[in-house]
Amino acid sequence: MQFSFIVLYRNRDIVRVERCLQSIANQTYTDFEIVFLDYGSELKMQNQVEELCSRFSTVRYLYVPTQGWLWCRSHALNLGIAHAKGQYMIIVDVDIMYSPNFAQYFADRINPNKLFLYSCYYLPQNFSNHQALNFSQAYPFQVNDTSGNGLLVAPKQQIIDTGGYDTYFRIWGFEDIDMYQRLKKRGVENKTVSIDELRTFHQWHAMSNQIESMPKSWLGFMRQFWEFKPTGVITHTDIEKLFDLEKRPAQAIFQKPTDAKQHFTFTYPLAKSYLDFTTQFANLQAGEAICVQQNFGAIPKQANSLLAKIFKTLNLLFSKINLSYRITEVLTFEKDLIEFFHIRDFAFYFLYVYENQIADYYWEQQQLESISFIIVKK
């Protein structure tokens, strides 16, 4: 088989996914497969997208039970590539619609020592007539910057030989340019395909909001590591590692939190609370777990003055009539308020920094209202 389109997915809009898959299925060149890797979607979305994939004869649907884990694009890519049958990998963004001659373009040009970066138009927010897009026509839309482009076409063996995508880069950020540079260091010839040579269209979606986005300064953290690590070196990889959700200890404890050895709630002052959490985790024995179930309200529980009680009553009243109810006693208690992002960011960094001491973890968040997680000591 010549090509494998590698499509990564987790809890995304089904309509845009269908447009993407249909555009790939419509290729004039037919020696390809679509490896659709579902990286731990929740059950409802998993069922929907698996049914969608079953409508396409070219799609192989792979489900990886990573519920409760943070997104790791590098790991997802490695899994998709490891299970692909094609000689060449086409890395896909699930938001993109591909021209019918896309695969044919690369079939005419690719070889075992050559890679391509390809471009895409960004469709504007108000665009709705996707069926009328003309892949032979130029549009006055923004085009992506290919300097750190994740839209890659490359020989599978070259990717495998360089060690796959570096899983040091968690969530996403810099894994693409790192792979590109490592392939170049191996002597792989490279070419950037302009939008005028080959047109694809990225469907509009809102920028990731704070709930879905990475912790504060995360990209800077990833950039710093990437800039200072030796060129061409891979630091972390688990290219074929699969998981059985039923055998993950954190999943079992998450279903029955009383089995956790330690239970922890973050309180003010946060700096001390962070230290206390780290100390409690360090004191766990192998196989023991620490459990956090943190709720976030407009008024912290320790606010007990008369004014705070009045504000709390108003908050409850306003919430019932759909008015904004974030009223706090600023002068006295705002400094005591523990916010969702404080705990979210601390937990993300903790999971990253202490990964060598963690056997498993399970994470769940409800909008900005609560965070629950279990961490099992290795």
CATH number of the domain enclosing 53:
3.90.550.10
Residues 268 and 172 in one domain: no
In terms of pTM, does the model score above 0.85?
Answer: no
**pLDDT for residue 105 is more than 50:** yes
Average pLDDT, integer, range 315-323 = 61
The answer on 121 and 7 residing in a single domain is yes
Q: What is the pLDDT of residue 99?
A: 97
More confident residue, 370 or 319: 370
The reply to whether 188 and 154 lie within a common domain is yes
Q: Which residues contact 227 (CB under 8 A, 6 or more apart)?
A: none
Q: Is the confidence at residue 276, as pLDDT, over 80?
A: yes
Are residue 261 and residue 162 in the same domain, yes or no?
no
**What is residue 331's predicted lDDT score, i.e. its pLDDT?**
41
Q: Are residues 144 and 267 in the same domain?
A: no
* Residue 291 sits in the same domain as residue 147: no
Question: Are both 260 and 134 inside the same structural domain?
Answer: no
- Is 41 a domain residue? yes
Residues 317 and 346 in one domain: no
Q: What is the pLDDT of residue 236?
A: 73
User: Residue 201: its pLDDT value, please?
Assistant: 96
Same domain, 106 and 165: yes
Kindly indicate the confidence band of residue 68, based on its pLDDT and cuts at 50, 70 and 90: confident
Same domain, 208 and 286: no
Q: What is the DSSP string of 100-124?
A: TTHHHHHHTT--TTEEEEE--EE--
Question: Which residue range(s) make up the domain with 282?
Answer: 246-296+338-377
Q: Please report the DSSP string for 305-345 in residue order.
A: SHHHHHHHHHHHHHHHTT-------HHHHGGGPPPHHHHHH
The model's pLDDT over 195-246, given as tens digits with 9 standing for 90+, comes to: 999 999 999 987 654 445 678 888 888 888 888 888 777 777 665 555 666 7
Q: pLDDT confidence of 67, banded at 50, 70, 90?
A: confident
Q: Say yes or no: 257 and 277 in one domain.
A: yes
- Indicate the number of domains in the chain: 3
